[in-house]
Amino acid sequence: MAVSLHFHLWSGRRLYGSATAHSLQFRRRKIVNIILIGAQGSGKGTQAERLAHKLGIPHVASGDLFRKAIADKTELGVQAKEYLDRGELVPDDITVAMILKRLSAPDCARGVLLDGFPRTIVQAQALDRGLASAARSVDCAVYLQVPRDVLVERLSGRYICRAHQHPYNIRTNPPKVPGVCDIDGSELYQREDDRGEMIQRRLDIFFGETIHLLDYYQQQGKLIEIDGNRSIEAVHQQLYSAIMERVGEKERE
Ligand SMILES: Nc1ncnc2c1ncn2[C@@H]1O[C@H](COP(=O)(O)OP(=O)(O)O)[C@@H](O)[C@H]1O
């Protein structure tokens, strides 16, 4: 698959141009491209939200992009819906094209936190090629390790806000008002694929296929493994310091 990625460098220059008026600090900030790898219910979305905010880079979640495309009834949404309904992976070519298009948007010029992508070696290789075409690369791939029985427990209690996909768990991370998002007040709902045998099917895909990404990034010296079976805050602290150590940057203000 010949994939090329054309970041909007002119907008990057314009961004640099406008940033030179502020301070050289902006220039010193490295572009940070981070991948979060984890099974369903591992806390990828919860941790990604916090981390992206702290690092000042966009949180790009492949599942959210698919769900929005389905809700908007776009051509991508029509293509992807049957796979999501079956809890299967959307074909690599469709997924890669969607993500590389999203990464070429100006807001990703300073880096990106990828959640749920890549999930296959083909996707990982396409991402590496796409980033390389813009003289960028993955800085680190973080694996959130959580035992399978804990994942099933978490997924059965997962609720998500209708407006912005803020994740909750009725047992471990409940909203202040049942059924209502603390942040934007929208209704919380349980995803179709967080029910019954769909949970097991998606976990089988993760532990049968996506798990091979760990070797892929380990061989590149980019893998960070984090114990995800602790409190949200404890995981966040370990995750953030591990990434800062790897990227060698001070926390953005
Ligand atoms: N990188 C990907 N490749 C293929 N399909 C994907 C990818 N990311 C998400 N999907 C599809 O979107 C669905 C929802 O993804 P997501 O919201 O990340 O939930 P989960 O982490 O529980 O799988 C997946 O079950 C799959 O059908």
- pLDDT tens for 6-47 read 444 333 333 333 333 332 343 346 679 999 999 999 999 999
Ligand 1 centre to CA of 62 (Å) is 6
**Residue 206: predicted pLDDT:** 95
**Residue 164: predicted pLDDT:** 87
- Any idea where the domains of the chain sit in the sequence? 32-147+203-250
Lowest mean pLDDT among 113-117, 137-141, 155-159, 236-240: 155-159
Coil, helix or strand at residue 142: strand
**Residue 197: predicted pLDDT:** 81
**Residue 27: predicted pLDDT:** 34
Q: What would be the CATH architecture of the domain defined by 32-147+203-250?
A: 3-Layer(aba) Sandwich (3.40)
Residue nearest to atom 6 of ligand 1 (CA): 89
**Residue 24: predicted pLDDT:** 32
pLDDT tens digits for 164-173?
888 899 988 8
**Residue 122: predicted pLDDT:** 98
The residues near 42 (Cβ < 8 Å, ≥ 6 apart) are 144, 145, 146, 151, 228
Q: Would you say 138 and 131 are in contact if contact means Cβ atoms under 8 Å apart? A: yes
Q: Is the backbone peptide bond immediately before 118 cis, with ω within 30 degrees of 0?
A: yes
Measured between alpha carbons, how far is 47 from 51 in angstroms, rounded to an integer? Answer: 6
pLDDT tens digits for 76-130?
999 999 999 988 999 999 999 999 999 999 999 989 999 999 999 999 999 999 9
pLDDT tens digits for 173-219?
899 999 999 999 999 999 887 877 888 989 999 999 999 999 999 99
The best mutation among 36, 89, 165 to test binding of ligand 1, ranked by most ligand atoms within 8 Å of the C-beta, falls on: 89
**Residue 11: predicted pLDDT:** 35
Active site residues: 44, 119, 158, 191, 202
Residue nearest to atom 18 of ligand 1 (CA): 63
The pLDDT of residue 251 is above 80: no
The pLDDT of residue 71 is above 90: yes
CA atoms within 13 A on the CB side of 119: 26
Residue nearest to atom 15 of ligand 1 (CA): 63
The pLDDT of residue 248 is above 50: yes
The pLDDT of residue 163 is above 80: yes
Ligand 1 centre to CA of 116 (Å) is 6
Q: Whole-prediction pTM value?
A: 0.81
**Residue 230: predicted pLDDT:** 95
